[in-house]
Structure 1
């Protein structure tokens, strides 16, 4: 069965629980209403080794070639059964994602069971009666609060009811039992003098260019809004403490910035995420505080977070924990763009464009240069006459690594009117100028595509069938078929487990890069600027690690561990301005465990200095010559082994230099 036949059969399903993008129904109802669709799902289930007992509810996607097999073992025996397991299947790619809730203390639960079966079912009237009870008790007034077991049971209690044998019974509840400890949430809002980090990420990725409406859900005192409004952007914001009366507007981009981490009630966190997602047309940005045990241990524990001295609540997350929470709440992919910052795309075409551009290298190509041996006078005349137009066309060819389609070149109509076609324009260029850069552009684009698809496979992300047209053209030109690029990407991805290959590639990269530091058999350290110059397999190695914590923005050095399957990302204070920058943050990503460790060098943790910075940079960096001179003079003191990655802390170095009658000022040594 192909995609079109599947979607047609789904559209004909009459009795089901309907959402905008999916239909849910019991498999008995599915068998009755659509034997062909039920038979197809049974075949798929057999192929992926899902037994008949592993599911009883089907989630049929109404727009994509996907299905989920859901297991609610107590569907008939409990009024509000819990989800035990979800198996999501992409029928186009035949990939699966299994999510188990068997050990969860707060699993998703099912309501309105009558919608999942046909009216002829013996239990239909009973299920309708259960739903009417809930409606009369006011349990369905706020849909965002009823999706998980804990919040559902708490809501029942707050409404003055309890569950007895699955039915609602009214009870007397003392008012103090319903009250929560008063937390001063409004004190968590801070005054900002520059854009917050989530908005900086949006700006970096081109989403604050004026083409998108923006809504800040939980905007605090509105400092981000004022800055964005000053730049003429279409923005709005709401906050329960500072802007409670403003309208919550549906917008292209919705920012939920550092909101969920200050909410002590987990149900309200879930509600905040779901409400913000409902408001977003294209993209939801979610951010929360990331911290390790060293930070958390300084505060008094409270619920699942900590209580500060100002009587405010903070829920610190790990990177993977935050991602899992978002994905479970929204049942959608969350893409890490920075520590504690995730993107969730509603527009899946835009998601693919974002992921593709994320690993696409930028090259400053040389302008067209003349060829002294011009043999075609006619072509030469056309080249001279239309040089400005051909220059623009040439740069677009280099950008794409192929000839652009008509809708990809803004001057296409003008070019075709003057020269006939894009193909003829390219032939004229080949006859008149040096076009050797084009082969390099082709190779770069092909490598970028392989990196993109390999990283998509690593992240188990859906490669959507409706991919951007430009990417479909890339696949046709560079790989002929979609299967070919996937096969090559898989081969590259699986090669990362070969330690000898990684070791050889690190040695090769060390020889070819403008600057790097190689610890033979152990690690390769490169500046973030040079990551795009690494061999494709190493770009994927680093990209897989970055995918777990975010972009390399604010990262200075990247350390590829050759044997342990780890990648470390280091951020230094004063990397571009100091001869001995101080390590501010180190992020170690363990690829085999898919886990992230954050190390912040603040407070009682002394920041190590980076020695021999000149081995990591080249003449394109500011103060390169000064750094080379500084490092050369430092070797004369023999305080630091030039073959070692680390040396004494800065205070210790200053003390040692003082014993020699020297002090450091800027990049120079002076007599004390």
Structure 2
């Protein structure tokens, strides 16, 4: 084989781990190679007297007449296998170089193994899960540092993880080992940053200094050290590492990744109940989640598995741990994220949390200045003379969607001294300012409350015996009484099962949203940023789906409401801000079945592109014009309708672009 033919054949290879200058491929995937390469590579090995048992991967160079035959003896059994031997063959010079790493303490290692085999392989799903773990842990952020064993292990440690039975774990031991052969203390890991449950507490404002925190099963105390450094009232206990510490009743108790390492079910329940006893406001429970196919690879033990380090792990499904918590504590468990739940002992605190969770957080624009007023109206003249003060009052009205009571406006006493009651001030300001903003704020606030009450009914939360004063005021001002609000919320909640009504509201939403895609009679797709602009019925539909999943995070880009099937889909893209993002994860929430399916697209060659992305952008967005122009040109090449949703795999896209002699470069389509 000559150099030009080799280069041409390598350019046709669409499988394998594609790097800028080379392709890595396992020998078991050679059937997907061009026939000539499939024959040529083993021929080179035989010519150099390299037995089949001494190589299993090939590295094909894209720009050079060169290849390397590599041997990773534990490719299938090790999550990150080490290179034992390489044979670098320079076909242009008819020379080769052999390098052995046998006995080296820092050999090259492999990542993203799923890209090197075929999707039909029985190992593919497991390899995808291994890569996804590393992605989620942030281990691939600097690809230059991960190629050798020592630096890879340092990165894992730096991010607060360890490899257990080939998988990444971040968990704490709970109590002294009572089961012969189970090493619970080995589950406590060193962390370099706050744990996932602690990060949720940061997000919701619980770590700003107003609450005491107790970390139940704190391991080596990395979270505690960080909290104390920030001046927080934080303490913890751990049976192996801090057994002499007192267990202290605290506002917030964190039971982080503890239940999953206790092999005895009675002890597991005792731990949950003990943590609950120490909680005065909110208990945070976090566990490891995994699919059945992943769990099946381990040795089964009781209701969990035994890892290679002789530790126990009990993996849960999202619905399973929620049910376990609620049955054990007889309290509602609120999903905050996959595997992370809040259980409130203080019901006023729970209402505040849920209230804020479903409350729109609007950004106020500069108020229009009052118009000139006749001097005869003394009160209005006073308002003009104290414009900053009354602007602040009007902002509070917009924020609340109602007239504030005296203690809700810091300068109430001054306002009342100048003009009179809040009601009188509001009446005067209504003559001065455009009341359209207030009417919209009132409508938004009412819808937010209906969403809050509907979600309470959906989750079958017990009625609260007490309510925060601010909530009582909202209810009285906007609904008249609590029962009226609940009745309206119940009507809306039952209405999400009415597919014709959902369809009508999807059509309405499509006409009102800055950007969305309506597949008539099937689905409505829109960007996460426009969720709160949906009609309240659709917000309740989405909210009902998210009760199982948890809160939307920044990684979710698009939301799809399935009109007839009672499903909700969430999708994440590798770079939504680019001209052609590729799908990396799809989450389908099945409300009828009370189940969640996670679909990962770790294999870059199989990631579907988001075609016609302009459909999900506001026409006023900075890059809208460029995106629209790009989408029109690309749709012409692909022969698709630029007004509609179109589905292709990356491989199909590349084939069509290749036929057209084009390649994507930003918002341009350049010649290849």
Structure 1 length-normalised TM = 0.69
Partner-residue secondary structure (3-state), 1:636: helix
Q: Deviations over 1:446-497 (max 9, x none)?
A: 1111121111111111231211111111121111122211221111111122
Is the deviation greater in 565-574 or in 512-521? 565-574
Alignment of 1:556-567 (within 5 A): 556-567=557-568
Partner-residue secondary structure (3-state), 2:444: helix
Q: Corresponding residue for 1:295?
A: 294
Q: Corresponding residue for 2:250?
A: 251
Matched, 1:368 2:379: no
Partner-residue secondary structure (3-state), 1:365: coil
**Offset of residue 179 of structure 1:** 6.6
- Give the Cα separation in 2 of the matches to 1:260 and 1:427: 57
- Give the Cα separation in 2 of the matches to 1:184 and 1:582: 43
Matched, 1:308 2:282: no
Q: Corresponding residue for 1:212?
A: 211
Partner-residue secondary structure (3-state), 1:329: helix
- Give the Cα separation in 2 of the matches to 1:667 and 1:310: 50
Q: Corresponding residue for 2:186?
A: 187
Matched, 1:411 2:417: no
Partner-residue secondary structure (3-state), 1:587: strand
Q: Corresponding residue for 1:487?
A: 487
Q: Corresponding residue for 1:428?
A: 428
**Offset of residue 601 of structure 1:** 3.7
- Give the Cα separation in 2 of the matches to 1:604 and 1:616: 23
Q: Corresponding residue for 1:455?
A: 455
**Offset of residue 271 of structure 1:** 1.7
- Give the Cα separation in 1 of the matches to 2:509 and 2:566: 18
Structure 1 residues 187 and 460, CA gap change in structure 2 (3 angstroms): same
- Give the Cα separation in 2 of the matches to 1:611 and 1:510: 19
- Give the Cα separation in 1 of the matches to 2:315 and 2:277: 25
- Give the Cα separation in 2 of the matches to 1:668 and 1:630: 7
Structure 1 residues 358 and 521, CA gap change in structure 2 (3 angstroms): same
Q: Deviations over 1:145-167 (max 9, x none)?
A: xxxxxxxxxxxxxxxxxxxxxxx
Partner-residue secondary structure (3-state), 1:637: helix
- Give the Cα separation in 2 of the matches to 1:250 and 1:623: 53
Structure 2: runs of 5 or more not aligned: 1-176
Tell me if structure 1 keeps the 8 A contact 2:401–2:444: yes
Structure 2 length-normalised TM = 0.69
- Give the Cα separation in 2 of the matches to 1:363 and 1:296: 44
**Offset of residue 514 of structure 1:** 0.7
- Give the Cα separation in 2 of the matches to 1:212 and 1:371: 42
Q: Deviations over 1:183-228 (max 9, x none)?
A: 2333333443433221221122111221111222222333333333
**Offset of residue 398 of structure 1:** 0.7
Structure 1 residues 185 and 669, CA gap change in structure 2 (3 angstroms): farther
Tell me if structure 2 keeps the 8 A contact 1:640–1:647: no
Q: Deviations over 1:590-642 (max 9, x none)?
A: 22233333334447995433332221222676754543343233223216664
Q: Corresponding residue for 2:111?
A: none
Partner-residue secondary structure (3-state), 2:637: coil
Is the deviation greater in 453-462 or in 636-645? 636-645
Alignment of 1:91-240 (within 5 A): 180-240=179-239
Tell me if structure 2 keeps the 8 A contact 1:609–1:646: no
- Give the Cα separation in 2 of the matches to 1:633 and 1:189: 55
- Give the Cα separation in 2 of the matches to 1:512 and 1:668: 31
* Aligned Cα root-mean-square deviation (Å): 2.5
Q: Deviations over 1:532-553 (max 9, x none)?
A: 1111111111111111221112
**Offset of residue 284 of structure 1:** 0.6
Tell me if structure 1 keeps the 8 A contact 2:212–2:252: yes
Structure 1 residues 634 and 469, CA gap change in structure 2 (3 angstroms): same
Matched, 1:581 2:578: no
Q: Corresponding residue for 1:537?
A: 537
Alignment of 1:473-512 (within 5 A): 473-512=473-512
- Give the Cα separation in 1 of the matches to 2:445 and 2:538: 16
Structure 1 residues 399 and 235, CA gap change in structure 2 (3 angstroms): same
Q: Corresponding residue for 2:32?
A: none
**Offset of residue 378 of structure 1:** 1.6
Q: Corresponding residue for 2:572?
A: 571
Count of residues paired in the alignment: 494
**Offset of residue 290 of structure 1:** 1.9
Structure 1 residues 348 and 620, CA gap change in structure 2 (3 angstroms): farther
**Offset of residue 515 of structure 1:** 0.9
- Give the Cα separation in 2 of the matches to 1:535 and 1:266: 45
Structure 1 residues 373 and 199, CA gap change in structure 2 (3 angstroms): same
Structure 1 residues 179 and 260, CA gap change in structure 2 (3 angstroms): closer
Partner-residue secondary structure (3-state), 2:335: strand
Q: Deviations over 1:305-325 (max 9, x none)?
A: 223333332222111111110
Tell me if structure 2 keeps the 8 A contact 1:371–1:434: no
Structure 1: runs of 5 or more not aligned: 1-177
Q: Corresponding residue for 1:590?
A: 590
